[in-house]
Amino acid sequence: MQYRRCGKSGIKLPAVSLGLWHNFGGVDVAENYRSILHTAFDSGITHFDLANNYGPPPGSAEENFGRIVERDFTGYRDEMIISTKAGYTMWDGPYGDWGSKKYLVSSLDQSLKRMKLDYVDIFYHHRPDPDTPLEETMNALDLIVRQGKALYAGISNYPAEKASEAITILKSLGTPCLIHQPKYSMFERWVEGGLLDVLEKDGVGCIPFSPLAQGLLTNKYLHGIPEDSRAAKATGFLKKSHVTDERVAQINKLNDIAIKRGQTLAQMALAWLLKDQRITSVLIGASRPEQLIDSLKCLDNIGFSKEELAQIEEIL
């Protein structure tokens, strides 16, 4: 594993981190996700990313993770960076969603109970809230860090301008923003329009989520939609309708370049993000340990020739 400094902080993150959005919920097979966690940690993945609502059902990924940490990883807590978030709908009524101090503080308390942890390493506000004053949300992050319930604060899905404001407020409170978690992959490039510059200028790390576009940027969909894929499942956000003929043609062309580089498409898609030193870590998912092992080999070659980059650009 390679470790990269997270912005201008004291923390280093593994170049590849593991997210528990899918495959770790109440509907999933315990021995499989336990094995994914072991494969990850044994490969030097020290960072595990959760959120209050991961499952399904919501909360079950934190419960399952907590059970395995207690059983298998207790002696290793100080070698792990565990994150969770609040910001999307979690419980009924006006206090279980968005960005109030009430929601963030009580949600983290619930998350800590589910995971049976005293603290998380990073606590994120999961998405910007158009109605709550940004000062209130950032004050809540500052409070949580001062209470020792999280060591660092982060933001996710914030567009460039709002991220810049949040970073400034957090700095003034004395709790610098450690990291931003945006969606970023070859197929989703909004961060290139200003956010990455803001993060670099302010010394904040960047951990792209869904770097494989939920599996589209792998060899999974080269010939349509396999039965055991995320797109074929009833739960989740990748729909069959996302796997268009145009996408499949694009994926096949990208795969040809990956083969020439001696990589799988997943490895090339991750390397393509990691070529930019502003990217602290890529936050991948996996439905089985073998996928993780495949994806991790991206680190063997993160360099691209000008010709390769131009060819990729043309396909995208």
Ligand X SMILES: NC(=O)c1ccc[n+]([C@@H]2O[C@H](COP(=O)([O-])OP(=O)(O)OC[C@H]3O[C@@H](n4cnc5c(N)ncnc54)[C@H](OP(=O)(O)O)[C@@H]3O)[C@@H](O)[C@H]2O)c1
211 belongs to the binding site for ligand X (CB under 6 A): yes
CA distance 247 to 261: 21
256 vs 310, beta carbon nearer ligand X: 256
218 belongs to the binding site for ligand X (CB under 6 A): yes
CA distance 254 to 309: 11
47 belongs to the binding site for ligand X (CB under 6 A): no
Pick from 11, 14, 21, 115 the residue near ligand X by CB under 6 A: 21
CA distance 90 to 114: 14
Sole window of 19-27, 69-77, 137-145, 198-206 interacting with ligand X (rule: CB under 6 A): 19-27
286 belongs to the binding site for ligand X (CB under 6 A): yes
52 belongs to the binding site for ligand X (CB under 6 A): no
150 belongs to the binding site for ligand X (CB under 6 A): no
Q: Where does 85-194 have alpha helices with state H?
A: 101-115, 134-146, 160-173
How deeply is 12 buried, as exposed, middle or buried, from its count of CB atoms within 10 A (0-12, 13-18, 19+)? middle
CB of 221 vs ligand X, minimal distance in Å: 9
How deeply is 243 buried, as exposed, middle or buried, from its count of CB atoms within 10 A (0-12, 13-18, 19+)? buried
Sole window of 39-47, 69-77, 96-104, 212-220 interacting with ligand X (rule: CB under 6 A): 212-220
Sign of the C-alpha dihedral computed for residues 67, 127, 279 and 164 taken in this order? negative
Q: Which residues bind ligand X (CB under 6 A)?
A: 19-23, 49, 126, 156-157, 181, 209-215, 218, 220, 229-230, 266, 283-287, 291, 294-295
